[in-house]
Amino acid sequence: MKGSAKMKLWGGRFSKSTDTMVDDFNSSINFDQRLYKQDIMGSIAHANMLGKQDIIPVEDAKTIVSSLKDILKDIEAGQVAFDVEAEDIHMNIEKILINRIGDIGKKLHTGRSRNDQVALDMKMYVKEEILKIDEYIKALQEALLYLAENNTSTIMPGYTHLQRAQPITFAHHMLAYFEMLIRDRDRLKDTYGRTNSLPLGAGALATTTYPLDRSMVAKELDFNSVTLNSLDSVSDRDFCLELLSNLSILMMHLSRFSEEIILWCSHEFAFIELDDAYSTGSSIMPQKKNPDIAELVRGKTGRVYGDLISLLATMKSLPLAYNKDMQEDKEVTFDAIDTIKMCLPIFTQMIKTAKVNDINMYKAASCGFTNATDAADYLVKKGVAFRDAHTIIGKLVLYCINNNLSLETLSLEEYKEISNVFDEDIYVAISLEECVNKRNVIGGPAKETVLNAINIYKDYLLK
């Protein structure tokens, strides 16, 4: 037999070598080489099991394991060059192994397929990355908690429809994002649990005739169970889809936060000022200080969405079991993870170093009738039905608008012209501090309530 078909570890059935373009098109080593550690650790566990089960001689298993450990060290030392003709990380590692220890290395692939091997590698990789991402999210939560602790009395306007609505505190606003991140971490934890089932042993699609001890491999690789259906084991990429979905939601939260930061940095708001180290300038306008980090995070959100949609589209019509289309799972998963791991640390530092302009926040809360609801509640507590109180305050607001006044600057006589129920204590009731701190229902912005929430969140971060 002539040609390079003999060089392929799967080339026995072929009489003709693959075209060079096919090698390039079919190869995934340019991107899946990052799975080298997972692939080698999976192979070590598999070899140990083969030896223990007497599927291959114990001494051969030991030789394979020893050589795999050496290969891992050499890769991490930058002493290994991968070969595109070997297609993927699995075949590259196996080819290197065979080159080093000869025919003994050919025994490693006994009882497994690249189909269950790649499913294993991806699950191991996803598990590891979930734990890393969780630490990044936790660091952002710590930064938010720091800001909240230092701004429990910093009053700002809360918004609906991007219109000033009711006064809250900057601490309360920061803790809203803390809550979102709790859910993000919970989702990742759930995905980790569903990823934590060993697929190795499923073979190409129908397991094997060898007496594999899958539980032994699962224990060595820190999986808490083994998969129970071989067809699903090799064709499942739900764990990648779940991860990409989780990361898309996380990026959506960061994007919403970024949008507010961008607004708050503008001269129209001037609620915060980003540190110079996390801002950029203009090539033409010398006065500019741009929130480019927040804008890039907002922009990269669409990129992660695209990774999710891409994999969903790839998987939507694939028959069981494995199909080469599934090779497309890696680049999008890697890209989404890389994007998240790029965004979270810099976003955290940007937030942590931002300067809060409490004076401008207070001024903004003082305008826009953010205390109108409290004025209505004042009347209700005096015995006025809420709908009537709503109408009365609405008339007062209109009067203020027409006369360039605010509820605070109205005289008591002007109040009484609308309703005799008003008395001197109306001015206390509509003060911003009173408006905020009277909202001491669990989940509210009152300083006491926020401090209690902060203590709960501190305990959460210790878990």
User: Which residues are identified as catalytic?
Assistant: 161, 282
Exposed / middle / buried, residue 212 (Cβ in 10 Å: 0-12, 13-18, 19+)? buried
> Which pair of structure tokens corresponds to residue 75?
């890769």
Contact 302, 324 (CB under 8 A): no
Contact 435, 447 (CB under 8 A): no
Listed residue (238, 194, 200) closest to 121, CA to CA: 200
Q: Which residues pair with 55 in a beta bridge?
A: none
Q: Is 199 helix (H, G, I), strand (E, B) or coil?
A: coil
Distance CA 349, CA 391 (A): 47
Half-sphere exposure of 148 (CA within 13 A, CB side): 30
Contact 192, 246 (CB under 8 A): no
Q: 3-state SS string over 258-282?
A: HHHHHHHHCCCCCCEECCHHHCECC
Residue 377 backbone zone (phi > 0: left; psi -120 to 50: alpha; other: beta): alpha
